[in-house]
Amino acid sequence: MAQMLTYILLVLLAALAGAAEDSRVVVLKNSRGAEAHMLPTGACIAKLLVPDRSGELADVLLGLENEDQLRSGLLKSGCIVGRVGGIISGAQFELDGKTYKLEANTDKGRSTLHSGNVGFHRMEWVVEEADLEGPEPWVRLSYTSGDGEQGFPGGLYLQVTYKLTANNELVHDIRATADAPTPLNPFSVPYFNLGGHSSGDVLDHHLTINADYFMPTDAGANPTGKVAAVAGTPLDFRAPLAIGEGLEKQAGVDASAARRRLSGALQLATDAPAAGFRETFALFGLGPDAKQAVQGFTASEQPQLAATLYHPASGRKLEILTNTPAFAIYTGNSLKGKFAGKGGAVYGKHAGVALQTVMFPDAVNQPNFPSTILRPGQQFHTQTVWRFSAA
């Protein structure tokens, strides 16, 4: 009898915990049935339901089942990373004559990724304001990062506003101010699979990127400081290219490069083995002169078309518009089915592709890249639009 009562109590507690978490979900829904579900942990987009060519809805974002998993940092999909998303080589930087050391959590303990293991994606954000009843519902979340958090100088106030339009566009607007000079590169890390988050890999997805140049990296994915042309490389996505086909081209180049290294020649793009794409591109015609061309943190006043992802089987198409100067892709190279995601889904290698609108990588250590230093009196403001359609 006692065991039965204990069991019933545990079930009730679990149900109450689930109900409490459900009450924290902010749901944006438009008249066409599209839905975006937001959680305060990491200002995370937990679900993103959009129709295919037949009108059938599917959740096209990889993700985790609950906020406890989000807080564990298992997967950042849909969450905001920062203070500085991306890599900081050497796990340190110099600003105004002072050196700041950070947690080294990548490149075999030599560099910093997404500002360390406990970044903005694991923090508790505040839901400041929302309008969920209008034709284009929106929600605004904020986070205050104190001076010294993650090793960065200055207090930072950050706002993220999500809006779901009547045209199946999810708009994110990121704004920030600081009370002392600090590096800043916050962005969303969405792992997309337009067939549905649990439908398999994304090798059949066709990707187009509006970029003539990319930023080469070393074996540890640290930028070399150079800006190279995509022409003649596996990173030329200026015309639609299946991700799987691109990876095949990359594998061929890397095999050839390995042979050249044995004969003493230099590899052009990267010394890393072919495990998938993990690259950053300069958008909208920006190239080696980007530092002079970029004013503030943006490449343009209004968002422009940066990339397109298309899934032939479902007909779903995603157009990404942004005013950021760079664009990063990551093809889920380290996903190995080691944990259960939403609905118990197991995400294997290349189960999703992360398409991220960003600043130039490692800009705090690369003097030739556009600056990412936010100073008092300035405002950081970027806007990205995910536009969904189907045909």
pTM of the model: 0.90
Q: How far is CA 84 from CA 55, 176, 276, 374, in A?
A: 38, 12, 23, 11
Give the type of residue at 200: G
Q: Tell me: the pLDDT tens digits for 17-63?
A: 344 446 689 999 999 999 999 999 999 999 999 999 999 999 999 99
CATH number for position 161:
2.70.98.10
Q: Tell me: the pLDDT tens digits for 247-278?
A: 999 887 654 454 344 333 333 333 343 479 99
The mean pLDDT value for 298-302 works out to 95
Q: What is the DSSP letter of 249?
A: H
- Domain assignment of residue 225, yes or no: no
Residue 300 CB partners (closer than 8 Å, separation 6+): 284, 323
Q: What is the DSSP letter of 266?
A: P
Q: Are strands 326-330 and 316-322 parallel, antiparallel or unpaired?
A: unpaired
Burial pattern 9-31, b for ≥16 Cβ within 10 A else e, equals eeeeeeeeeeeeeeeeebbbebe
Q: What is the pLDDT of residue 268?
A: 35
Confidence of residue 73 (pLDDT cuts 50, 70, 90): confident
- Domain assignment of residue 244, yes or no: no
The mean pLDDT value for 171-176 works out to 98
- Domain assignment of residue 256, yes or no: no
CA angle 39, 384, 38 (to 5 degrees): 10
Confidence of residue 74 (pLDDT cuts 50, 70, 90): confident
Distance, CA of 25 to CA of 39 (rounded, Å)? 5
- Domain assignment of residue 287, yes or no: no
- Domain assignment of residue 109, yes or no: yes
Query: How many domains is the chain partitioned into structurally?
Result: 1
- Domain assignment of residue 78, yes or no: yes
Cα torsion angle, 95, 99, 103, 109, sign? positive
Domain of 85, in residue numbers: 25-202+312-390
